Chains A and B, each alone.
Chain A
Amino acid sequence: MKQYAFKRLLGMIPLLIGITIISFGMMHLAPGEPSVVGNEFNPKVSTQDIERLRAYYGLDKPLYEQYWNWLKRLVFLDFGTSFSSDGRPVLDKVAERLPVTLWINILAMLLILAIAIPIGVASAVRQNSWFDRGMTIFVFIGFAIPSFWLGLLLMIALGVNINLLPISGIHDYGWQQMGFWEQQFDLLKHLILPVFVSAIGGLAGMSRYMRSGMLDVIRSDYITTARAMGVPEQEIRYRLALKNALLPIITLLGLSIPGLIGGSVIVEQLFSIPGMGLLFYEAVLSRDYPLVMGITVIGAVLTLMGNLLADLSYAWADPRIHHGGR
């Protein structure tokens, strides 16, 4: 197991380097430079001023040199400083925004698991029943629904019409004055809609995979054998079959991470949640190179770590992998 983990960690290094090259190349090959943008037609900004700005940010050096300097600092988690007027380090800015985003995504994943697994199992066990058909329709709609539109409708229904849930931000006015538990309750109330909206796509996908996984397992030989030996149906379904059908879910959970992180841009913009997604959106709008690059790299690294975690838990749960040659 340890050897397997080590091998996987080692395999991540080329991927990490590739990620940095892609992010760097993307930002620098694209037209529009912060020292020029917005200043092209400003008579007060002379060519010398622009040159000075470029030298200040190191934009006058050749690309490979800029990349190498950036990479050297990256190793020490130094993502540079933001181009925005506050000029704070990128890492600080991301660090204060990341927890909310992680919380929403973790809660969304838990919600997906808590709802999708029972739905998938129940559909598989009662294949082609009315419940199964109803769930199939739900899955198709869940796949097709734009999450921000669902968010808008929920905001109108629950926030505007009956004023049940707050529709923006993560704190109410007067949050500072609340007691500890009151604060937690307030936060939770603000997170309900964003978490549900982030989860909807994954919910549909996951219950679909759970259903087909469960169907595959139920049709397999060892289940037939168990049935022939007279093992009670309940035990076959929920002890023998479920365990094996759950395995692929681990991988799928890992694969759903980039979608969740990417989706946080829309969800956070919609609900005005001060997380990493909204920070990224603002950085993109103001062409804040270091911040955009930093968040892109951090997003990719989070994805990579999520996949690693999924692979390791898979190996831990399925002895065939770390005992086998792979």
Chain B
Amino acid sequence: MNKRVTISTWFNHPLLLIGGLIVASVACAALLAPWIAPYDPSMINVREILLPPSWEHWCGTDTLGRDVLSRMLYGARVSLAVGFVAVGISLLIGICLGAIAGHYGGRTDTLLMRATDMVLCFPTFFLILAVIAFLEPSIWNIMIVIGLTSWMGVTRLVRAEFLSLRQREFIMAAQSLGISSFQLIWRYMLPNAMGPIVISAVLGVAGAVLVESGLSFLGLGVQPPDPSWGNMLTEGKDNIQIAWWLSLYPGLAILITVLGYNLLGEGLRDRYDPKSSRR
């Protein structure tokens, strides 16, 4: 089967195409924020408080007269940074634990999987809130906490992949040549389990962006005056009677970003995971 990504691949898989385009444009918006933002995101202007959307301010202004569109562009940086770092942490933990459980099996496997089940019993959001309130709410802390509370799915996935890989002939062959466990995992098993891991990482970014926005909305995530889509919505809630634009646009940004990563993830799954492609 030809698995190279060519231009026609993208057009034969509309999910992949739309998701990829959204992800790429949000990433561009975040990277280029300082150059494309029409205003300084933290410039307070008391003469332009709570202006509805207009040609000067496409998404209106907030209670301090700051431009909402500029703040959203800078907010994209925060959301994506949190998403990527959190997923990186959860991948690191998930791959290590999953690899150990799947490779060694037996008692190690049982122990690790029971521990995973225990963590899964907790409503994730409770777990995150409980930890975050005991730390100072800051962007670094929420990255770490989201990462530390979202590794369970990856662990299970990697373990399942490794368990089935262990039965494959090329792995047995490598093993019988006396290669060390670390080498076996790193050089032969992990690369062959990479597909599902990448897919779950892409979907994980979507999840992390959603969680970050929820935390910031509750005032426990990114702290004002730093803009984040979540804490902009807090301001929207406080001014719900008078300024609908403060609520509409930042949420739309979250929706589109999360949608983009979900579509990309599902598209990759359709393309590369034959088991679930018929669904």
Contacts and interface: CB of A to CB of B under 8 A. Distances in A.
A287 B124 CA distance: 19
Contacts of A156: 240, 244, 247
A292 B240 contact: no
Interface residues of B, number: 46
A115 interface: no
Contact of B255 (A15, A145, A261): A145
Interface in A256-312: 257-259, 261-263, 265-266, 269-270, 280-281, 284-285, 287, 292, 295-296, 299-300, 303-304, 307
B131 interface: yes
Contact of A261 (B126, B220, B240): B126
B38 interface: no
Given A19-B118, A146-B210, A152 B240 contact: yes
Contacts of B254: 146, 149
Given A140-B259, A149-B247, A153-B251, A262 B123 contact: yes
Interface string B230-259: 000100110011001001101100111011
Residue of B134, B240, B254, B263 contacting most chain A CB atoms (<10 Å): B134
B240 to A, nearest CB: 6
A303 B120 CA distance: 9
B134 A27 contact: yes
Contacts of A15: 114, 117-118, 121
Given A265-B129, A266-B218, A280-B126, A144 B118 contact: no
Contacts of A149: 233, 247, 250-251, 254-255
Nearest to A297: B122
Given A15-B118, A19-B121, A160 B220 contact: no
A18 interface: yes
Nearest to B217: A148
A259 B127 CA distance: 12
Given A153-B247, A266-B217, A140 B262 contact: yes
B97 to A, nearest CB: 15
A18 B210 CA distance: 28
Interface in A122-165: 140-141, 143-146, 148-149, 152-153, 155-156, 160
B122 A258 contact: yes
A261 B121 CA distance: 11
B233 A148 contact: yes
Interface string B34-50: 00000000000000000
A31 interface: yes
A160 B240 contact: yes
Nearest to A145: B255
Given A144-B255, A259-B123, A32 B214 contact: no
Contacts of A269: 218
Residue of B115, B117, B214 contacting most chain A CB atoms (<10 Å): B214
Interface in B103-150: 114-115, 117-127, 129-135
A160 B133 contact: no
Given A30-B131, A303-B121, A146 B255 contact: yes
Contacts of A27: 130, 134
A212 interface: yes
A14 interface: yes
A152 B233 contact: yes
Contact of A18 (B114, B132, B251): B114
Contact of A280 (B129, B131, B217): B129
A246 B86 CA distance: 36
A215 interface: yes
Interface in A20-68: 22-23, 26-27, 30-32
A261 B123 contact: yes
B210 A292 contact: no
Given A15-B117, A27-B130, A141-B255, A22 B122 contact: yes
A285 B126 contact: no
A32 B125 contact: no
Contacts of B213: 146
Interface of B: 114-115, 117-127, 129-135, 206, 210, 213-214, 217-218, 220, 233, 236-237, 240-241, 244, 247-248, 250-251, 254-256, 258-259, 262-263, 266, 279
Given A265-B126, A281-B129, A303-B121, 4 more contacts: A15-B118, A15-B121, A146-B210, A292-B133
Interface of A: 14-15, 18-19, 22-23, 26-27, 30-32, 140-141, 143-146, 148-149, 152-153, 155-156, 160, 167, 212, 215, 257-259, 261-263, 265-266, 269-270, 280-281, 284-285, 287, 292, 295-296, 299-300, 303-304, 307
24 contacts: A15-B114, A19-B122, A26-B127, A27-B134, A30-B135, A31-B134, A32-B134, A140-B263, A140-B266, A143-B262, A144-B255, A144-B258, A144-B259, A149-B251, A152-B236, A153-B247, A265-B125, A265-B129, A265-B218, A299-B122, A300-B121, A303-B122, A303-B123, A307-B121
